Structure 1
């Protein structure tokens, strides 16, 4: 049996551990453990009721290659915090490119326009979980189906609406309100603004290294540009260099305490690094020489999110 998964979040080279265990993306450690134990009893050779050598081999592969790694990732608080940070970033990126995303399952399409997304999402997961591993040959397809539900849920809850507004059934009454004046001619962007615009485009395409090049050039021109520090933090975050991301988020807030992007992401990065809100902050200068390694591992925080190979 092939364990290749290429639907839902898996389509973006991201391992959807929540889909493997069929738990909501906001599941806590207790819920994860309860679900894991139920699956393990179904698949483990010492407790499984699976009959036949072929079926037993499939059950063992599912347990060892998918279920156990998923539990290891989601059962540890530190790992789950980093993983949740990734999911939050994924949801925003997917919402921005929602028009190009194709759904293949009916339940995901239904969730796309459901008025009460939380209720339908969790009801569907509960329903699927009861039979997820009944047919082991179909387990991969079911996991992929769950991942599509996760994908839609992340898009719908990311703060970006993807539901097109309904047009009114009749024309509105005419009014005598004068049309607004034409907009002023656009100003020519400064060199730094051009760097920032190109970097934002690269970030949306998950081309983090190229985005950093643009932003580093911008910082040479305007080292005290808080927006630039926030964006380069996003590039480092995309490469799972949490400490470098933190340095630039700190710099952004020192320069502008109201910098929106930094205000949003600094608490998340601090939490992923295990830093308490009132803990003493490290020196925020990138040249200070932080000797502690980044939490990048072999695949980065995004685990090869949009470009790596499984």
Structure 2
């Protein structure tokens, strides 16, 4: 099953699980569960005996690869908390990009310009209406999810604006003209210097990603660890630890050039990063030998098969002493 959506929140490399289930962003777990059971009954292979085997297979894949993961993500306590933190950050970011966001649906445009007092009711009634037919036509599901995600995007922009002390037009003019300065007539004392930025809290979303990635690395589950770290870097592109760990993950997968890029970034951000300091010289040496035309030949193994060239030997084996963990 190929599902490509480039509208709404998906346009920002974000999987909009609320759009997959067609529930409001502020829906509680009970409401989400009710909606999930409704979708699961509709997509179950035995729900409609008249459909073709191809459509039954497609429905089963939508349920197992799209709906089930979405439900788990936004109902499991820990993952739900992380997910909502990310949504909150996205809402604040989107407020600043309000004028550059392109909307494709009339409902989305209407929600973007609706009076503040009607935003909630307009948004939730639109979501409820789409939910009635979301999974009726399996071949239209991606387009419907894109439509819902666009509504979620607009709703995030509008509701994030409520928590700001300045209305959207002032935000835009401030972005164009620079920071506001105090009025000398009303403020004759210089403001105190800004305190240094506080360190990220231990329970931040990025910390959760890093902990999960480290656990996966310890289990030699490198592709899964790579996904976690890529998500973390979307939140904090200048996190040296993220770059260091993903460099290690690429190294373990014998992707030396990618490993070098991230170890370089880690050292630029933190010259004392021990992981990067330890591995970067070895990678530089290996890449130098590779570019210089060094060639390692290995005889066939005892089974008569040619050696695996995917990363178990050669440069990778040399870096790790030829051992597999």
| Shorter-chain TM-score above 0.5 | yes
Higher helix share: 2
State which of 207, 223, 234 in structure 2 corresponds to 1:241.
207
1:41 to 2:41 alignment: yes
Judge conservation of contact 2:36–2:71 (CA < 8 Å) in 1: yes
Aligned to 2:139: 137
- In structure 2, what is the Cα distance between the partners aligned to 1:162 and 1:69? 37
Judge conservation of contact 2:43–2:59 (CA < 8 Å) in 1: yes
Aligned to 2:130: 128
- In structure 2, what is the Cα distance between the partners aligned to 1:301 and 1:28? 28
CA gap of 1:136–1:110, structure 2 versus 1, over 3 A, is same
CA gap of 1:241–1:233, structure 2 versus 1, over 3 A, is same
Q: Secondary structure at the match of 1:233?
A: coil
- In structure 1, what is the Cα distance between the partners aligned to 2:196 and 2:184? 31
Judge conservation of contact 2:8–2:152 (CA < 8 Å) in 1: yes
- In structure 2, what is the Cα distance between the partners aligned to 1:83 and 1:233? 17
Q: Secondary structure at the match of 1:144?
A: helix
Deviation of the 1:142 alpha carbon: 0.3
Deviation of the 1:76 alpha carbon: 1.1
Bigger CA drift: 73-82 or 141-150?
73-82
Q: Secondary structure at the match of 1:134?
A: coil
Judge conservation of contact 2:213–2:229 (CA < 8 Å) in 1: yes
Judge conservation of contact 2:95–2:168 (CA < 8 Å) in 1: no
Bigger CA drift: 119-128 or 51-60?
51-60
Give me the TM-score of the superposition, normalised by structure 1: 0.57
Deviation of the 1:49 alpha carbon: 4.8
Aligned to 1:81: 81
Higher gyration radius (CA) = 2
Judge conservation of contact 2:45–2:57 (CA < 8 Å) in 1: no
Matching of residues 1-310 of structure 1 within 5 Å: 2-49=2-49, 51-115=51-115, 116-158=118-160, 159-160=163-164, 164=169, 226-229=195-198, 233=200, 237=204, 240-241=206-207, 294-295=211-212, 298=225, 299-300=228-229, 302=231, 305=234
- In structure 2, what is the Cα distance between the partners aligned to 1:113 and 1:65? 35
Q: Which runs of 5+ in 1 are unaligned?
A: 166-179, 188-192, 194-224, 244-292
CA gap of 1:53–1:162, structure 2 versus 1, over 3 A, is farther
Deviation of the 1:54 alpha carbon: 2.0
Deviation of the 1:46 alpha carbon: 2.9
Deviation of the 1:105 alpha carbon: 1.4
Q: Secondary structure at the match of 2:200?
A: helix
Aligned to 1:177: none
CA gap of 1:162–1:140, structure 2 versus 1, over 3 A, is farther
Deviation of the 1:55 alpha carbon: 1.4
- In structure 2, what is the Cα distance between the partners aligned to 1:303 and 1:107? 32
Deviation of the 1:114 alpha carbon: 1.1
Deviation of the 1:164 alpha carbon: 4.8
CA gap of 1:181–1:38, structure 2 versus 1, over 3 A, is closer
Cα RMSD of the aligned pairs, angstroms, is 3.3
- In structure 1, what is the Cα distance between the partners aligned to 2:145 and 2:155? 15
- In structure 1, what is the Cα distance between the partners aligned to 2:158 and 2:50? 38
CA gap of 1:305–1:66, structure 2 versus 1, over 3 A, is farther
Aligned pairs, number: 203
Judge conservation of contact 1:17–1:70 (CA < 8 Å) in 2: yes
Deviation of the 1:301 alpha carbon: 9.4
- Post-superposition CA distance 1:240-271 (Å, at most 9, x none): 1259xxxxxxxxxxxxxxxxxxxxxxxxxxxx
Give me the TM-score of the superposition, normalised by structure 2: 0.55
